[in-house]
Amino acid sequence: MKELEEKINAEGIVAEGNILKVSSFLNHKIDVPFMNEVGKEFYRLFQNDRVTKILTIEASGIGIACLTAQYFNVPVVFAKKSKSKNLTDDVYATEIASFTHKNTNQVIVEKRFIQPEDRILIIDDFLAKGNALKGLIQLTQDAGATVVGAGIVIEKAYQDGGKLIRDTGVRVESLARIASMSPETGCVFLHD
């Protein structure tokens, strides 16, 4: 998505340690009118897949998932990162390691919110090593539901998460795929 690549290079900050900060439009401040266009693009890509629910993970995925869901006219379910007393024990759970935060979270979804007949579109802001996406696929499969695919805003295509997950047969659509990046040159994008 050309407008997204332009926005990443205009507003994104590449920092030491393989960090891309897009907090000006994606994961701290959210450019809602722009993210609506991202949501429309996910709809264009998956509109024929009879999506019944969008699954994401807190926190950064929630905004883009909600803006996308309105085009599909379906609900969002967001996996939660820790066990609150507001949740029952009747949950699917998996462990997800975070590259950014250097920790591992138990992630849960209440069982009643994913049914075997559901056709799940997974939406997330980033794909790098693929840990979050693998976890969300696992939760969907635990529920006996169908993963129709994953819509990712930014993929770090020089890391192996996308390849590993595509190799399992899951359709992954990333709107911007970064081939390489550095503080000096910014991001170079992959088109294939």
- Residue 166 beta carbon to its own copies: minimum distance, rounded to whole angstroms: 26
Structure tokens at 190: 């992959």
Instruction: Give the CB-side neighbour count of residue 154, counting CA atoms within 13 A.
Output: 29
Choose one: 67-75, 117-125, 131-139, 171-179; the region binding its own copies (CB under 8 A).
Answer: 67-75
Q: Looking at 14, 51, 52, 78, which residue binds its own copies (CB under 8 A)?
A: 78
- Interaction residues for its own copies, span 3-22 (CB under 8 A): 17, 19, 21
Distances in Å between the alpha carbon of 79 and those of 47, 108, 109?
23, 5, 5
Choose one: 109-117, 128-136, 139-147, 167-175; the region binding its own copies (CB under 8 A).
Answer: 109-117
* Separation CA 69–CA 128 (nearest Å): 23
Render 64-107 in DSSP notation, one character per residue: HHHHHHHHHT--EEEEBSS--TTS-S-EEEEEEEETTTTEEEEE
Q: How many CB atoms lie within 10 A of CB 174?
A: 21
Q: Which is nearer to its own copies, 85 or 191 (CB)?
A: 85
Q: Which is nearer to its own copies, 50 or 166 (CB)?
A: 50
Render 42-65 in DSSP notation, one character per residue: HHHHHTTS---EEEEETTHHHHHH
Q: Looking at 4, 14, 52, 80, which residue binds its own copies (CB under 8 A)?
A: 80
Q: Which is nearer to its own copies, 64 or 147 (CB)?
A: 64
Interaction mask 20-39, its own copies, x per CB under 8 A: -x-xxx-xxxxxxx-xx---
- 59 binds its own copies per the rule CB under 8 A: yes
- 87 binds its own copies per the rule CB under 8 A: yes
Q: Which helix (H) or strand (E) holds 40?
A: helix 32-46
Q: How many binding residues for its own copies (CB under 8 A)?
A: 44
Q: What's the start-to-end Cα distance of the chain, in Å? A: 12
Residues forming contacts to its own copies in the complex (CB under 8 A) are 17, 19, 21, 23-25, 27-33, 35-36, 58-59, 62-67, 69-70, 73-78, 80-81, 84-87, 100-102, 109-110, 112-113
